[in-house]
Structure 1
Amino acid sequence: MIKTVSATATRNLLARSSIKAVSAKNFTPAILSTPSFSNTGGISVKYYSTRSTVIQLLNNIGSKREVEQYLKYFTSVSQQQFAVIKVGGAIITQQLPELASCLAFLYHVGLYPIVLHGTGPQINEILENEGIEPDYIDGIRITDGKTMSVVRKCFLEQNLKLVTALEKMGVHARPITGGVFQANYLDKEKYHLVGDISGVNKAPIEASIQAGALPILTSLAETPSGQILNVNADVAAGEIARVFEPLKIVYLNEKGGIINGNTGEKVSVINLDEEYEDLLKESWVKYGTKLKIKEIRELLMHLPRSSSVAIIDVDDLQKELFTDSGAGTLIRRGYKLLKRDSLDEFTQPDLLRTALQRDEKIAAGVISVASYLKSLESVKFTAYGDEPLEVLAVVQQDESGVAKLDKFLASKTGWLNNVTDNIFSAIKKDYTSLQWSVKEDDPYTSWHFAKAEGSYSKNGEILFWYGIDDTATVSKLIGAFNKSTLHGNTSAQSSQKRSYSTMRRVTPQNVFNSGFSKQFKRGLATVSGNPNPPLKKGTNTKKARVALVGARGFTGQNLISMIDKHPYLELSHVSSRELQGQKLKGYNKKEIFYSNLQIEDIKNLEANDEVDVWVMALPNGVCKPFVQAIESTPSSGKSKIIDLSADFRFDTTGEWVYGLPELNDRTNISNARKISNPGCYATAAQIAIAPLVPYISSTPSIFGVSGYSGAGTKPSPKNDVNFLKNNLIPYSLTGHIHEREISSKLGLPVAFMPHVAQWFQGITHTINIPLAEPMTSRDIRNMYQDRYQGEQLITVSGEAPLVKDISGKHGVVVGEFNVSAKQDRVVVVATIDNLLKGASTQCLQNINLVMKYDEYAGIPDDLIIRG
Structure 2
Amino acid sequence: MWSLRSRLPSRQGASHLRQAAMSVVSSCATALPLACRLPRTISSIRPYSSSSQSEKETIVKLLYNIGSRKEVEQYLRHFSSVESQKFAVIKVGGAVISDDLGTLASSLTFLNRVGLYPIVVHGAGPQLNVRLEAAGITPQYEDGIRITDGPTLAIAREVFAEENQKLVEALERLGTRARPITGGVFIADYLDKEKYDRVGKVVKVNRQVVESSIRAGCLPILTSLAETPDGQILNVNADVAAGELARVLEPLKIVYLNEKNGLYHGETGKRIDAIHLDEEYESLMKEPWVRYGTKLKLREIKELLDCLPRSSSVAIISAEHLHKELFTHSGAGTIILRGHKLSSESDLANVDRDRLRTLLQSEDPAFKGGSQSVASFYRSLEQLRNSGGSYKVYVDEPHQVMAVVTEVASEGTPSKTPLLEKLVATKSAQLNNILDNLWKLIQRDYSSLVWRVPKSSENLAWHFERADGSITVGKDIVFWYGLSDISAIESAVRSALPTKSELQTPTTSSAISSQQQKRNFSTFIQRRSYSQSTKPAGTSTPIRIGLIGARGYTGRELMNIINKHPNFELAYVSSRELAGKPVQGYTKSAIDHVNLSPQEVGRIAGNGRKDVDAWVLALPNGVAGPFVSELDKASKGLSPRQQPVVIDLSADYRFDTTGTWVYGLPELFRSSMKSSNMSKISNPGCYATGSQLGIAPLVKFMDKARLPSIFGVSGYSGAGTKPSPKNDPKFLADNLVPYTLTGHIHEREVGFSLSRLAREKGFDTAVNAQFTPHVAPFFQGISLTLHIPLTKSMTASQVKDEYLQWYQDEPLVHVIDDIPLVKDNSEKHYSVIGGFGIPKSTSDGASTSLAERRAVVVVTLDNLLKGAATQAVQNLNLALGLDEYSGIPLVSEPQITKQ
CA contact (8 A) 2:50 2:177 kept: no
Which residue of structure 1 lines up, in the alignment, with residue 298 of structure 2?
Answer: 293
> What secondary structure is seen at the aligned counterpart in 1 of 2:307?
coil
**RMSD of aligned C-alpha atoms?**
3.2
Is residue 405 from structure 1 mapped to residue 420 from structure 2 by the alignment?
A: yes
Counterpart selection for 2:256 from 240, 251, 258: 251
Which residue of structure 1 lines up, in the alignment, with residue 205 of structure 2?
Answer: 200
Is residue 10 from structure 1 mapped to residue 46 from structure 2 by the alignment?
A: no
Deviation string, structure 1 residues 687-734 (Cα, Å, up to 9, x no partner): xxxxxxxxxxxxxxxxxxxxxxxxxxxxxxxxxxxxxxxxxxxxxxxx
1:173-184 equivalences in 2 (<5 Å): 173-184=178-189
Which residue of structure 2 lines up, in the alignment, with residue 433 of structure 1?
Answer: 448
- Separation of aligned partners in 2, 1:85 and 1:44: 22
Residue type at the aligned position of 1:492 = R
1:551-570 equivalences in 2 (<5 Å): none
Deviation string, structure 1 residues 391-438 (Cα, Å, up to 9, x no partner): 110011145411111111112222121110111122222222222222
CA contact (8 A) 2:18 2:67 kept: no
Counterpart selection for 1:73 from 75, 78, 97: 78
Q: CA deviation at 1:249?
A: 0.4
- Separation of aligned partners in 2, 1:340 and 1:365: 26
Residue type at the aligned position of 1:493 = S
Is residue 170 from structure 1 mapped to residue 175 from structure 2 by the alignment?
A: yes
1:829-840 equivalences in 2 (<5 Å): none
Deviation string, structure 1 residues 221-269 (Cα, Å, up to 9, x no partner): 1112211111100000000000100011001122211223454432222
Is residue 495 from structure 1 mapped to residue 531 from structure 2 by the alignment?
A: yes
Q: CA deviation at 1:351?
A: 3.6
CA contact (8 A) 1:267 1:329 kept: yes
Which residue of structure 1 lines up, in the alignment, with residue 399 of structure 2?
Answer: 389
Number of equivalences? 490
1:635-674 equivalences in 2 (<5 Å): none
Which residue of structure 1 lines up, in the alignment, with residue 435 of structure 2?
Answer: 420
User: CA 1:6–1:353 in 2, change beyond 3 Å: closer, same or farther?
Assistant: closer
- Separation of aligned partners in 2, 1:69 and 1:222: 40
- Separation of aligned partners in 2, 1:273 and 1:57: 35
CA contact (8 A) 1:62 1:322 kept: yes
- Separation of aligned partners in 1, 2:419 and 2:142: 56
Q: CA deviation at 1:113?
A: 1.0
Q: CA deviation at 1:585?
A: 8.9
Q: CA deviation at 1:90?
A: 0.3
Residue type at the aligned position of 1:358 = E
Residue type at the aligned position of 1:336 = K
- Separation of aligned partners in 1, 2:142 and 2:32: 46
1:72-471 equivalences in 2 (<5 Å): 72-356=77-361, 358-379=363-384, 380-398=390-408, 400-471=415-486
CA contact (8 A) 2:85 2:249 kept: yes
- Separation of aligned partners in 1, 2:501 and 2:470: 16
CA contact (8 A) 1:458 1:488 kept: no
Q: TM-score, normalised by structure 2?
A: 0.51
- Separation of aligned partners in 1, 2:637 and 2:78: 47
Residue type at the aligned position of 2:248 = V
Counterpart selection for 1:473 from 484, 488, 497: 488
> What secondary structure is seen at the aligned counterpart in 2 of 1:378?
helix
Deviation string, structure 1 residues 91-127 (Cα, Å, up to 9, x no partner): 0111111111111111111111110000001011112
Q: CA deviation at 1:468?
A: 3.2
Deviation string, structure 1 residues 574-628 (Cα, Å, up to 9, x no partner): xxxxx9xx99999x9999xxxxxxxxxxxxxxxxxxxxxxxxxxxxxxxxxxxxx
- Separation of aligned partners in 1, 2:453 and 2:471: 11
User: CA 1:143–1:32 in 2, change beyond 3 Å: closer, same or farther?
Assistant: farther
- Separation of aligned partners in 2, 1:479 and 1:395: 16
> What secondary structure is seen at the aligned counterpart in 2 of 1:316?
helix
Q: CA deviation at 1:188?
A: 1.8
- Separation of aligned partners in 2, 1:219 and 1:258: 23
> What secondary structure is seen at the aligned counterpart in 1 of 2:65?
coil
Residue type at the aligned position of 1:31 = A
User: CA 1:64–1:584 in 2, change beyond 3 Å: closer, same or farther?
Assistant: closer
Residue type at the aligned position of 1:385 = V
- Separation of aligned partners in 2, 1:343 and 1:436: 21
Deviation string, structure 1 residues 464-489 (Cα, Å, up to 9, x no partner): 33333545423432455584645697
Which residue of structure 2 lines up, in the alignment, with residue 605 of structure 1?
Answer: none
Which residue of structure 1 lines up, in the alignment, with residue 600 of structure 2?
Answer: none
- Separation of aligned partners in 2, 1:368 and 1:321: 38
Residue type at the aligned position of 2:193 = K
Q: TM-score, normalised by structure 1?
A: 0.53
CA contact (8 A) 2:188 2:204 kept: yes
Residue type at the aligned position of 2:67 = G
Which residue of structure 2 lines up, in the alignment, with residue 821 of structure 1?
Answer: none
CA contact (8 A) 1:32 1:170 kept: no
- Separation of aligned partners in 1, 2:501 and 2:401: 26
Q: CA deviation at 1:185?
A: 1.5
Which shifted more, 455-464 or 391-400?
455-464
CA contact (8 A) 2:177 2:217 kept: yes
Is residue 30 from structure 1 mapped to residue 45 from structure 2 by the alignment?
A: no
- Separation of aligned partners in 1, 2:496 and 2:337: 38
> What secondary structure is seen at the aligned counterpart in 2 of 1:101?
helix
Which shifted more, 43-52 or 252-261?
43-52
User: CA 1:585–1:137 in 2, change beyond 3 Å: closer, same or farther?
Assistant: farther
Q: CA deviation at 1:494?
A: 5.2
Which residue of structure 1 lines up, in the alignment, with residue 845 of structure 2?
Answer: none
Q: CA deviation at 1:47?
A: 2.6
> What secondary structure is seen at the aligned counterpart in 2 of 1:406?
strand
Residue type at the aligned position of 1:301 = D
Residue type at the aligned position of 2:465 = A
Following TM superposition, where does structure 1 have runs of at least 4 consecutive aligned residues deviating by more than 6 angstroms? 41-46, 582-586, 588-591
User: CA 1:217–1:485 in 2, change beyond 3 Å: closer, same or farther?
Assistant: farther
1:678-757 equivalences in 2 (<5 Å): none
Unaligned runs of 5+ in 2: 1-12, 34-45, 385-389, 507-523, 535-625, 639-899
> What secondary structure is seen at the aligned counterpart in 2 of 1:190?
helix
User: CA 1:187–1:354 in 2, change beyond 3 Å: closer, same or farther?
Assistant: closer
Deviation string, structure 1 residues 722-776 (Cα, Å, up to 9, x no partner): xxxxxxxxxxxxxxxxxxxxxxxxxxxxxxxxxxxxxxxxxxxxxxxxxxxxxxx
> What secondary structure is seen at the aligned counterpart in 2 of 1:331?
strand
User: CA 1:455–1:255 in 2, change beyond 3 Å: closer, same or farther?
Assistant: farther
Q: CA deviation at 1:281?
A: 3.2
Residue type at the aligned position of 2:424 = L
Unaligned runs of 5+ in 1: 15-25, 34-40, 499-578, 592-867
Q: CA deviation at 1:353?
A: 4.2
Deviation string, structure 1 residues 491-527 (Cα, Å, up to 9, x no partner): 52253459xxxxxxxxxxxxxxxxxxxxxxxxxxxxx
CA contact (8 A) 2:367 2:373 kept: yes
- Identity value in percent: 51
> What secondary structure is seen at the aligned counterpart in 2 of 1:396?
strand
CA contact (8 A) 1:6 1:316 kept: no
Residue type at the aligned position of 1:495 = S
Residue type at the aligned position of 2:391 = F
User: CA 1:242–1:172 in 2, change beyond 3 Å: closer, same or farther?
Assistant: same
- Separation of aligned partners in 2, 1:323 and 1:416: 9
